[in-house]
Structure 1
Amino acid sequence: MRRGGHALAAVAGLAAAIPVYYLTDAAARALRGGTVAFAPAPAALAYVAGVAVLIRVLTVWPVAALACGVPLTAAGALFALDLDAAVGVAATLPWARAGGLPWPTGPAPWAAPGEPPGTLAGTTGLYALTGAFLVLSALLPARRRSILGG
């Protein structure tokens, strides 16, 4: 990949970190709502599927996977090491006052008002797990990536 391709992949990876962050949080909140209601959570499946598709696309380009995985891993580490600081940072993110999601949620029971976006996904380790997967996929030798890619 040429230098311009690396820059484009890095920008794509950084841009993908935003939807991965919010979709992962939405999935965690929908799962919590399903657990609390003791009911199925089909929205959670849709959000997890969206995250899986984005991750699969990112793993094709190691630079994009790194550019998305490193911030997610850092967010996961911050939630694991200093929860108060992580919640404070999450409260400064866009849509923090709108229930934590960039799309309207209506009266959804899992959109807890006052809970900054990413709090549930961060405290459960989903960001650390997702970010670590992306970073490790980028660090695999090229011959292993081709086996994983089909």
Structure 2
Amino acid sequence: MTRDRHPRPLLAALAGLAALAPVYYLTEAAARCFRTGHAAFAPAPTGLAYLAAVAVIVTILSAWPAAALGCGVPLTAAGVLFALDLDAAMGLAATLPWARSGGLPWSPPDGAPWAELTEPPGTLAGMSGLYTLIGAFLVLSALPRARRRSILDG
């Protein structure tokens, strides 16, 4: 009996859905760090670290098409919602966990808030198009690869 080297599609899709929350919140944290750095005319190494963490997660997810779709489709949908109807997107984002506290999921409870309380998590990354770009990359990575043919082939 041989073992399949790839996870079953259902497990991979569930892994993609589980990765949605970290990708969503890390992308928003990176966007906020970059905004703070831009406003202070200072570097934002923390934002770069958050974005690097997102890149690692996205790279891992893109190895399995079902996982990439499990995370990419909802992320793209969130980005499209932010682009088309900002009020509805902000209303939906306000229902997410940690939306009222203004803190990151992994930050200590007494830590400084990372967001304005009137600005739900995901607002900045959604409005800037980051969710759409990352989600589209994941969806495109799940598509079957086209065979490359050389012009020298007969």
Q: Distance in 2 between matches of 1:19 and 1:131?
A: 13
Give the counterpart letter for 2:45 in structure 1: P
Contact kept? 1:78, 1:85, Cα under 8 Å: yes
Normalization by structure 1: what TM-score? 0.88
Alignment length (residue pairs) = 143
**Partner of residue 119, structure 2:** 115
The yes-or-no answer on 1:36 pairing with 2:36 is: no
Deviation at 1:115, TM superposition (A): 1.1
Taking structure 2 as the reference length, what is the TM-score of the superposition? 0.85
Q: How well do the aligned residues superpose, as a CA RMSD in angstroms?
A: 2.1
Indicate conservation of the 8 Å contact 2:20/2:75, yes or no. yes
Q: Indicate if the aligned counterparts of 1:99 and 1:114 stay in contact, CA closer than 8 A.
A: no
The Cα offsets for residues 28-50 of structure 1, whole Å up to 9 and x where unpaired, read as 00000101111111110110000
Q: What is the identity, as a one-letter code, of the residue corresponding to 1:57? A: I
- Secondary structure, counterpart of 2:8 in structure 1: helix
> Identity, % of aligned pairs?
69
For residues 3 and 58 of structure 1, the distance between their equivalents in structure 2, rounded to whole angstroms, comes to 12
CA distance in 2, matches of 1:51, 1:3: 22
Contact in 1 for aligned 2:79/2:132 (Cα 8 Å)? yes
Distance in 2 between the 1:56 and 1:22 partners? 17
2:129 is aligned to 125
Unaligned 5+ segments in structure 2 are: 149-154
Q: Which of the two has higher C-alpha Rg?
A: 2
What CA distance in whole angstroms lies between the structure 1 residues aligned with 2:65 and 2:19?
Answer: 13
- Deviation track 1:29-88 (CA, whole Å, cap 9, x = no partner) reads 000010111111111011000000000000100110011000000000000000000000
- The secondary structure found in structure 2 opposite 1:60 is coil
